[in-house]
Amino acid sequence: MRLEPRRNNRLSLRSRNLRATGAAACLAAAALLLTACGQSSDSATSAATEAAKVLPQKTTASPSATAELTEDQQERKRVLDATKVTFDDAATTAVGEVANGKLVDLDLEGVDDDDRDESPSPSPSGSGSPTGSASPTGSASPTGSPAATGSPSASPGADGPVWVAEVAEKDGTVHTVRINAVDGKVIEARVDADQDAEDKKQTADRLAQATQTPEQAAKVATEKKKGTVTSVGLDDNDGNGVVWSVDVVGSDWKKTTFDVDAKNDTIVREETDND
């Protein structure tokens, strides 16, 4: 009977030890769990950070802006967008105003740089491209060439763009004919008052040397560069005969000038205005 209390004491001590050990184990397990959770959270955050470094961010692509046009190109576009009458139609109308007349020069006002230097800018608007067509409206002209520009003169006003033609009589007397480039109607036809006998002789001599028409020269130029004819003029070729100087504006709204031999339709000079 004496041994019973000791045995009970030992059992009680063992019980306390087991409880203490169990508690310690639980504490250790809880600590482990917390550590694991922390590591898991840290790992997830780290993985997300690394993924962000590798994977491209989703962005909304903005549409590419149209290449910015120079002031000269904008001016050509404004004038040509409003022009409805083609170069060759304007030429036919102008020649019809002078008995037995021949075209010497035809320009679409406002397209050439000199035109804008001497007068206000035109106000027409629109959105046509001259490429590959004979006219800014896309309708092919009889020569297969497009519309025209060149010598200094007043820019078109509120009524729209204007073709300015010089048509000579057989003796070289020059008439100026202004044509509305939208409806094709003649605005004015008059004899130039400031020409003298020498001027008339020079004009008559040049026309006598030109065996090719301005329409043929325009066709040669537009076969080399697709676009709209904005000017055709008969000029001296530095003492080597005469040339038709033809301006063509392409789809990039740049102007290229071609000097076409007025006897054999060959291009003797070519220059592009990149402005």
Q: Model pTM?
A: 0.63
| CB burial string 257-272: b at 16+ within 10 A, e below | bbbbbbeebebeeeee
pLDDT in tens, 151-197: 333 344 456 899 999 999 999 999 999 999 999 999 999 999 999 99
The pLDDT value given to residue 62: 36
**Which range scores top for mean pLDDT: 35-49, 68-82, 150-164?**
68-82
Confidence of residue 239 (pLDDT cuts 50, 70, 90): confident
Angle (deg, nearest 10), helices 87-95 and 214-224: 170
CA distances from 25 to 28, 197, 235, 267 (A): 5, 125, 109, 101
The pLDDT value given to residue 268: 96
Average pLDDT over all residues of the chain: 74
The pLDDT value given to residue 234: 97
The pLDDT value given to residue 111: 84
pLDDT in tens, 111-124: 875 544 443 333 33
| Residues 12, 227: Cα–Cα separation, whole Å | 110
pLDDT in tens, 7-25: 444 445 445 544 545 555 5
Q: Rounded to 5, what percent of the chain is helix, strand, coil?
A: 35, 20, 40
119 touches 154 (CB < 8 A):
yes
Confidence of residue 38 (pLDDT cuts 50, 70, 90): very low
Q: What is the mean pLDDT of residues 233-248?
A: 95
How buried is residue 77: exposed, middle or buried, by Cβ count under 10 Å (0-12/13-18/19+)? buried
When mean pLDDT is compared across 38-42, 138-142, 180-184, the lowest value belongs to 138-142
Domains of the chain, residue spans:
1-31, 71-273
Q: Is the predicted pLDDT of residue 100 greater than 70, yes or no? A: yes
When mean pLDDT is compared across 28-32, 77-81, 227-231, the lowest value belongs to 28-32
| Residues 249, 255: Cα–Cα separation, whole Å | 4
